[in-house]
Chains A and B, each alone.
Chain A
Amino acid sequence: MDDRTHKPHRSAQSGPKADEKKGKAKEKQTGFNEKAFAPKSGRRAEKQGRRNVERDQTRLHVPLLNRTPDDQPPPIIVAVVGPPGVGKTTLVKSLVKRYTKQTLSEIKGPVTVVSGKKRRLTFIECNVDLNSMIDIGKVADLVLLMIDGSFGFEMEQFEFLNILQSHGFPKVIGVLTHLDLIRKQATLRDIKKMLKKRFWTEIYQGAKLFYLSGVLNGRYPDGEIQNLSRFISVMKFRPLVFRNTHPYLLADRLEDLTSREEIRASKGKCDRIVTVYGYLRGTNFRHKMKVHIPGVGDLDVKSISVLGDPCPLPDADSEKRRKLSEKKKLLVYAPMSDVGGVMYDKDAVWINVPGSFTRGNMEIPQGEGEKMVINLQDAGDTLDNAVSRSRIRLLDSSSKTLAVNANVDEESDFAGVSGEELSSDDDDNASYESRTDGDKEKVESDEDNDSQNEFEHGASDERAVGDRGRSGTRVSQRSLRNLPSTSERPDTAVFAESDSELDFEEARKEKWISGVYTQYSDQDILQLVDNEGLEEGVDNVSRWKEDLSARAVESYNKRLGRKKQIDWMKLIYSSSMSPEDIVLGKSIEVRESEVDADDDGLIQVKKNIVNDEVWDMTKEPLVEADLAQWDDDELLDSLRGLFITGGDTVGDIEENDPQDERDGGDFKDLEASGAGTFIDANTGDSESQREESEDDATARAATLSSKKEALKRMFNEQYDDPEASKLDFYDEKKRRNGPAVGALVEGYRPGSYVRIELENVPCEMIEHFDPMFPIIVGGLLPAEECFGYIQARIKRHRWHAKTLKTNDPLILSLGWRRFQTIPIYSLDDHSIRMRMLKYTPEHMHCYATFYGPVALPNTGFCAFNTLSSETSGFRVSATGVVLDIDRSTKIMKKLKLTGVPLKIFKNTAFIRDMFTSALEVTKFEGANIKTVSGVRGQIKKALGKPEGAFRATFEDKVLMSDIVFLRGWYAIEPRKLYNPVTSLLLSEKGKWTGMRLTGQVRRDENLKTPFDKNSSYKKVERLGRRFNPLKIPKKLQAALPYSSKPKLMKAQHRPTYMQKRAVVLEPEEKRAITILQQVRALRKDQIARRREKQEERRAVHRKRVAKEEEKKGEKEKEKRKEYMRTAGMKSKREADREEGRQSKKRKT
């Protein structure tokens, strides 16, 4: 059987197998198999198509312009959030180490590092305080949400996610730690899966979750951190609406500038001047913007200045290299954590050297000199006080001691003369100086952005002061503000000089034209003039001379027809010339008369007296004489070019040439006017018209070429792309203006490192400053400074245990602010009125109206009942969005007035007890009323006798027992409570308590609730009503139609025939009935027996089940025991770790 030959296998010669062998087979489909998902029916296809379209629609959104600049963007704020002990500090340390190769010993406040060629990161650790979480949630660009893998999610994390949701959702990356505590692989896998699923439902499906295993050398494993950092570096950020409309800053440094003396005098209780430093973010920071620091309040910005970037991005030369150089990598900026001991100030860089002159430094041996210097610091009094107290006598015999009286006037005079030295000595008076310094620095930093430059600043400062020339300029600037009419002198004086020093003037003009000229203030111009060799100070220019100069300007302008280029910005913004003067520089007649009246600098007043009424007119009066020139046909023709039918070239040149001629040839004109050719502007115009006709061809060619050039440039600009031209504009602007004008026009750009000086800061902010709590400076839009009633759509959070009650205080986080307010909840009652609700609905949105600072409609907010960390439940009590802002509200509360009939006529009744006076009744005349039984009526008129009673008519007769009620609506307004959460002003930041509820106050004060007897609930006793039988007179009954006649109601009292008769059964009937009875009896018995049996069976079963239960219970008990044992061990371990940490701290 073995040797039997098998039939050899014959491979297929054709068919799919053969094709496969030969490689001819159909290519295997990879990826999406269209056929598999092809719709099977037309309807299904249609449905699918519709769904796809709908899905596409959800994807569409209005694109939001990102206002963050592409070059030099501010560092991205990476917030590390999680419960205590989850490893936040370890993560920040690991990341900082990864980026900078430095190990920070402690992390306090923000830490800024350079992470790439175009990206910087600011790490900030968020503590568990709810206030901090709110603030961080408002500014963080990326949140690293840390989750203890061995524990799972905690309440704070969900609260934080809800806060994020209502303030625009930044990017969130989950980080799972403590995974090393889970031994079993299977459990680990399960936990990861479970947490991931939960995380995804909270953020979005597919949100990134990182797993960090153990801690090595106080850091997370390098590989894992590297992965995380890679992920951070490629992260893209979507602009969030609120941050895209507000400038803000995360303060990474805070300094108190208040003079020590003032603090000492007020025992530290005076309002402080504080500077905060940080990178501007969001939109441009404008001048005059108010700021809000959450936890402190609204503050005024005293000054703002741009500083050199302390943590700059790699610049152009290092850019050439492919990788970030190692040197750059080391840059870390964290002033609050005291890294490196270098501080950047606006005019200095402070290097902290634990030097020999500091107190409490006992290790360093101190010599005589050092001791003296240190002792000098002990001086309790100022020199001034000490001198005034001293009893120095001029002569031995003199009875009086020398008196030192601090003459204030004298002193200030002195300051006027040489204010620079004085004020620079005095910290207090430095405000002005700081302003000028700020300006100067802006100019300088444009030229040279190197932060190292700041080291030399001290020296250059001195030089700069010298350059600025006399101290007189400062005085003149003060006067600019105080006396608007006199201060035009400097300007006119400048122009006056130009008369004699033409080359200077021309040089200036050249600068203007070429556009390099940066915007200088008046003083700068003055100073330039000074440099040109002007001997006399402006102050010393005598009156006649000044007038002379003014007149010279006039005539100069007259001659030029004022066609030269004017720096309008300077004239408008930094001179205090009156608008008329600026414009009337050219129309001479008016001006001349003014010049005459100019003598004592009271132009304004005089004018007002002369013209009894200066009308506020938009339309300018038509002066026939001015328009008379239009009689001239030539002039009319010269306009041809401005119309579409007019030729392109001819008209334009005709139009422009005369001006060109004049402008190009300042010089010529001057000479010409010297000869006295021109008398006034009007004739001058026509003169030049004539002159233009004999114009030479060269000028024409020049203008043509320049025009062509301009057109070409414009074309290029528009042809490339609109974006590029815009950028060009930016660049051009920047180049031309320098930062000073840039800031004037567009504010401070995001990404710049600024120092903001704040006034009137509560002293507690400084005294209780804790770098662990973030300080955010949020810019306020003009509208947000106002207060009003805000209407919002609100929904109670479903995890919050209690419903919210109208008129209970609620803490809101809205815009930048956190504040307590008292909302009233309402619902739209059939679009007729807003009806007050006592409580928020269970699962529904409702409206909330509250008083507070205005926020733009569509701003989201979240609400809390309490911020304290002792609360066990979910603290976010509601979330919502602002809908409307108004100064009044229209919320109505239902009010029912009740009364009872006093006397009843037919359909009329007198009602009492509804009102207390006739006046009240008159207010309600004509109002609808109703009885409980539903009879409607109307109030007619007040009655005289019982006060407040009235006559009313009803549609039917009412009963004396009826209650009459009037359904009214009473308008209510929310209480005007705005209580900012000033958590940063407290020494214990988490202990802020706002307004308490009455019950809470009573509980705290141990007061009893006042008891009103009438308010207690009593059992209502309602007597049963007895109605008398209706008796209809016989006569009336007879007259009624049958249907209305009362029917017989008496019951039959005699038995009927059917009831009365006796029934005798037939024998077979009797038998049948007996049988039936017997059968029923048998059946009953059977059922009873069955039931008995079943009961027996059940007993057995129950016994068995009980036994099983017992066994199971034992097992459960054991399990629980095991769990508790492990939990106990874990907590013990944690406690040990905590202890270890503390002991370590103690050591350091």
Chain B
Amino acid sequence: MAQAGVSLKFSGHQHFRYRLVLSILSGKPLRIDRIRADDKDPGLRDFEASLLRLLERVTNGTVIEISYTGTSILLKPGVISGGSITHDCPLSRAIGYFLEPLIMLAPFAKKPLDLTLRGITTDDRDLSVDITGSSLGSKKRGAPPLGGGEIQFLCPIVKQVATLNFVEMGKIKRIRGIAHAVRVSPQFSNRMIEASRSILNRYIPDIYLYSDVYKGDDSGKSPGYALSLLAESSTGALHSAEAVSTPGVAPEDTALLATRALLAEVKRGGCVDRSHQILVLLMMILGSEDIGRCRMGEPSPRTIQFLRDVREVFGTSFKISPANSSDPSSTDLLFSCFGTGYVNTNRSLM
């Protein structure tokens, strides 16, 4: 009928997740071509297919067509319905991979989302569940390669996102961290904490690093340990970093890696750390029709591609200016945009 044709066209397997998110949020049909077309093993990977399945379950009326070779998909988005959903994530990617797009979608669902994801909770590719959100209930942990972890993600729904105005970085006032060890000696987490404190203690006293040891069934199927750190500034800016165990590396070294990554992240500046830039920018775009501002460090390549895609989808571009124009040395940038006034159309008034 008067249904619009495919209005969004992308190619390549990169940036797969947030492109799906943008399509679903904007309601515009999406076509992605040339997904690993030149690869030895062309087409979608199992985790991508699994993500598509998950999105299909979270939404109502979504039509996903995957080409025979799997190198192109067509997504006709439906409405985000939410509700209670359980999903088994494949072991090729961690839960963080699936969680990230859903965090972007969940506030705009029809019903509050109650999502249970099973799989690997922490690995070196995706954000671990410790960092991703505070509304997470981590029931079981699962380290790669066999996973066996389980998390629960509860998200309320919103009518409209408020305009973000986050320019003051503030100063770091507290550092929190979780050192967890599953199916290895519980001493490992203490060793990681020790090592991390050796660096961080010089800065502030308010450092709490929790040792989180899981036993029995809750500790998943494979051994592993990791340290996740979170630095919070006086204005609420968060910087995170984490390091995951690799075979043959002492827990102290893992901890040092995480700690240094955190310091590097802090040094980079901005109110938002690099891994969450996209989420914050998306929420700014979706904010009410006022100017939202946020101070960030330099954008990551993902963020840059995201900015381009967002312009394609919502027709909004960001104004990016040096945060401190009087001080040319700082690399901090001020991202400001005029929100689209996105209203949660899925919200029911009945």
Is A403 in contact with chain B by the CB < 8 A criterion? Answer: no
Residues of the A chain whose Cβ atoms lie less than 8 Å from the Cβ of B4? 290, 298, 785
Cα A437 to Cα B14 in complex, Å, equals: 36
Known A-B contacts A245-B341, A857-B347, A976-B1; the reply to A612 vs B126 at CB < 8 A is no
Q: Which residues of A contact B320 (CB under 8 A)?
A: 568-569, 572
A856 at the B interface (CB under 8 A) = yes
Select A746's contact among B257, B314, B338, beta carbons within 8 Å: B338
State whether B327 touches A642 (Cβ < 8 A).
no
16 A–B pairs (Cβ distance < 8 Å), ordered by A: A565-B322, A583-B300, A618-B275, A624-B257, A627-B260, A630-B199, A642-B267, A663-B328, A703-B327, A736-B321, A747-B316, A786-B27, A854-B345, A885-B346, A888-B60, A978-B1
- Segment among A280-288, A946-954, A1027-1035 that sits at the interface with chain B: A280-288
Please report the C-alpha to C-alpha distance between residue A65 and residue B163 in the assembled complex, in whole angstroms: 13
B183 within 8 A of A: no
Is A973 on the interface with B (CB-CB < 8 A)?
Answer: no
Min CB gap A484→B, angstroms:
10
Chain B proximity mask over A498-521: 1 for CB below 8 Å, otherwise 0: 000000000000000101000000
B-contact bits for A941-976, CB 8 A (1 contact / 0 none): 000000000000000000000000000000000001
Chain A interface: which size bin? 35 or more
Q: Which of these binds chain B: A1-9, A225-233, A338-346, A706-714?
A: A706-714
Residue from A568, A582, A643, A746 within 8 A of B171 (CB atoms): A643
Q: How far is the CA of A65 from the CA of B287 in the complex (A)?
A: 14
Decide: B2 and A618 in contact? CB cutoff 8 A.
no
Q: Which of A283, A569, A746 gathers most chain B CB within 10 Å?
A: A746
Any A CB within 8 A of the CB of B100: yes
Inter-chain contact total with CB atoms closer than 8 Å: 260
B125 touches A615 (CB 8 A): yes
Q: Which residues does chain A contribute within 8 Å of B317, judged by CB atoms?
A: 569, 573, 744-745
Specify the chain A residue showing the minimal Cβ separation from B203: A643
Say yes or no for A700: interface residue by CB 8 A criterion: no
- Picked from B3, B302, B325, B330, the residue with its CB within 8 Å of the CB of A579 is B302
Q: Is the CB of B301 within 8 A of A582?
A: yes
**Do B203 and A646 touch (CB < 8 A)?**
yes
What 0/1 pattern do residues 824 to 868 of A give for CB contact below 8 A with B? 000000000000000000000000000001101110000000000
Q: With the chains together, A727 CA to B325 CA distance in Å?
A: 19
Are A709 and B326 in touch, CB under 8 angstroms? yes
Report A-chain residues with C-beta under 8 Å of the C-beta of B325. 513, 515, 710
CB-CB under 8 A from B138, the residues of chain A are none
Residue A883, interface by CB 8 Å: yes
Note all chain B residues with C-beta closer than 8 A to A858.
349
The B219-258 residues at the A interface (CB cut-off 8 A) are 234, 242-243, 257-258
Closest A residue by C-beta to B174:
A644
Nearest-CB distance from A532 to chain B (Å)?
A: 23
A883 touching B319 in the complex, CB below 8 Å, given contacts A616-B13, A642-B171, A783-B27 = no
Cβ contacts under 8 Å, A622 to chain B: 124, 243, 257-258, 261
| Inter-chain contact B350/A883, CB cutoff 8 Å | yes
Q: Does B127 contact A (CB under 8 A)?
A: yes
B295-334 residues at the A interface, CB under 8 angstroms: 298-305, 307-308, 311-322, 324-331, 333
> Given A245-B343, A572-B307, A978-B2, are A619 and B326 also a contact pair (CB < 8 Å)?
no
User: Is the CB of A805 closer than 8 A to any CB of chain B?
Assistant: no
Instruction: Tell me if B85 is interfacial: C-beta within 8 Å of chain A.
Output: no
Given contacts A643-B172, A706-B326, contact A791 B350 (CB under 8 A): yes
Given A609-B38, A622-B243, A630-B260, the answer on whether A639 and B267 have CB atoms closer than 8 Å is yes
Once the chains bind, are A620 and B350 in contact (CB under 8 Å)?
no
CB distance from A1081 to the nearest CB of B (A): 77
Q: Does residue B106 face the partner (Cβ distance < 8 Å to A)?
A: no
- Nearest-Cβ distance from residue A1080 to partner chain B, whole angstroms: 74
B110 contacts A by Cβ under 8 Å: yes
A-chain residues with CB within 8 Å of residue B2 when the two chains form the complex: 297-298, 787, 853, 978, 980
> Is B135 interfacial (CB-CB < 8 Å)?
no
Residue A204 at the chain B interface, CB threshold 8 Å: no
Q: Check if B69 is an interface residue, CB within 8 A of chain A.
A: no
Give the chain B neighbours of A540 by CB distance below 8 A. Answer: none
> Closest approach, in angstroms, between the C-beta of B95 and any C-beta of chain A?
12
CB distance from A853 to the nearest CB of B (A): 8
Identify which of A298, A569, A605, A882 gathers the most chain B CB atoms within 10 Å of its CB.
A569
Does B205 lie at the interface of the complex (its beta carbon under 8 Å from any beta carbon of A)?
A: yes
Tell whether B140 is near chain A: CB-to-CB under 8 Å.
Answer: no
Q: Which of A284, A513, A626, A783 has the most CB of B within 10 A?
A: A783
Asked if B60 and A886 sit within 8 Å, CB to CB, the answer is: yes
Shortest distance between the CB of B56 and any CB in chain A (Å): 12
6 closest cross-chain pairs (CB), A and B:
A887-B61, A659-B329, A288-B315, A579-B304, A746-B338, A579-B301
**Pick the contact of B319 from A569, A636, A643, A660 — CB < 8 Å?**
A569
Contact residues in B for A745 (Cβ distance below 8 Å): 316-319, 336-338
Q: Determine the distance from Cα of A618 to Cα of B326 in the docked complex, in whole angstroms.
A: 32
CA distance A613 to B40 in the complex (A): 10
Q: What 19 new A-B contacts, CB under 8 Å, besides A284-B289, A617-B125, A884-B110?
A: A245-B341, A582-B301, A582-B304, A583-B299, A612-B40, A613-B39, A619-B242, A621-B124, A655-B267, A656-B327, A710-B325, A710-B326, A729-B291, A730-B291, A745-B336, A747-B338, A788-B79, A885-B79, A885-B345
Contact surface of B with A, Cβ cutoff 8 Å: 1-4, 13-17, 25-28, 38-40, 60-61, 77-79, 81, 96-97, 100, 110, 124-127, 171-173, 199, 202-205, 234, 242-243, 257-258, 260-261, 263-264, 266-267, 274-275, 278, 289-291, 298-305, 307-308, 311-322, 324-331, 333, 336-338, 340-343, 345-350
Known interface pairs A787-B2, A788-B61, A883-B350. Does A663 touch B329 (Cβ–Cβ under 8 Å)? yes
**How long is the Cα–Cα vector from A65 to B15 in the complex, in angstroms?**
36
A737 within 8 A of B: yes
**Complex alpha-carbon distance, A413 and B69, angstroms:** 38
In the bound complex, what is the Cα–Cα distance between A297 and B2 (angstroms)?
9
> In whole angstroms, what is the CA distance A573 to B96 when docked?
29
* Residues on the B chain within 8 Å of A655, using CB: 267
**What A residues does B275 contact at CB under 8 A?**
618-620
Query: A329: CB under 8 A from chain B?
Result: no
Is there a chain B Cβ closer than 8 Å to A640's Cβ?
yes
The distance from the CB of B12 to the nearest CB of chain A, in whole angstroms, is 8
Choice from B26, B27, B278, B299 contacting A568 with Cβ under 8 Å: B299
With A and B bound together, what is the CA distance between A709 and B326 in angstroms?
8
Report the minimal beta-carbon distance from B37 to chain A, rounded to whole angstroms. 9
Find out whether the CB atom of B3 lies under 8 angstroms from the CB atom of A580.
Answer: no
Question: Quick check: is A735 within 8 A (CB to CB) of the other chain?
Answer: no
Contact A640 B203, beta carbon cutoff 8 Å: yes
Most A Cβ at <10 Å: residue of B173, B274, B299:
B299
Give every chain A residue within 8 A of B77 (Cβ-Cβ).
786
Assess the B322–A646 pair: CB atoms within 8 A: no
* Max chain B C-beta neighbours (<10 A), residue from A568, A614, A637, A658: A568
Q: Is A563 engaged at the interface, CB distance under 8 Å to the other chain?
A: yes
Compute how far the CA of A289 lies from the CA of B25 in the bound complex, rounded to whole angstroms.
Answer: 15
Q: What residues of A have a CB within 8 angstroms of the CB of B97 in the complex?
A: 616, 618
Q: Which residue of A lies closest to B258 (CB)?
A: A622
Residues of B within 8 A of A703 (CB): 327, 329
Min CB distance, A618 to chain B, in Å? Answer: 5
Minimal beta-carbon separation of A359 from chain B (angstroms): 41
- Given the interface pairs A568-B333, A744-B317, A783-B345, the reply to whether A573 lies near B308 with Cβ below 8 Å is yes
Given contacts A616-B15, A660-B328, contact A747 B315 (CB under 8 A): yes
Are A513 and B348 in touch, CB under 8 angstroms?
A: no
Q: How far is the CA of A569 from the CA of B53 in the complex (A)?
A: 36
- Bitwise interface map of A from 876 to 916 toward B, beta carbon under 8 Å scored 1, else 0: 00000011111110000000000000000000000000000
Interface centre among B171, B291, B336, B345, by most A CB within 10 Å? B345
A768 at the interface (CB under 8 A from B): no
- In Å, the complex CA distance between A51 and B98 comes to 54
Q: B127 — which chain A residues lie within 8 A by C-beta? A: 618-619
For B301, give its contact among A286, A580, A713, A737 (CB under 8 Å). Answer: A580
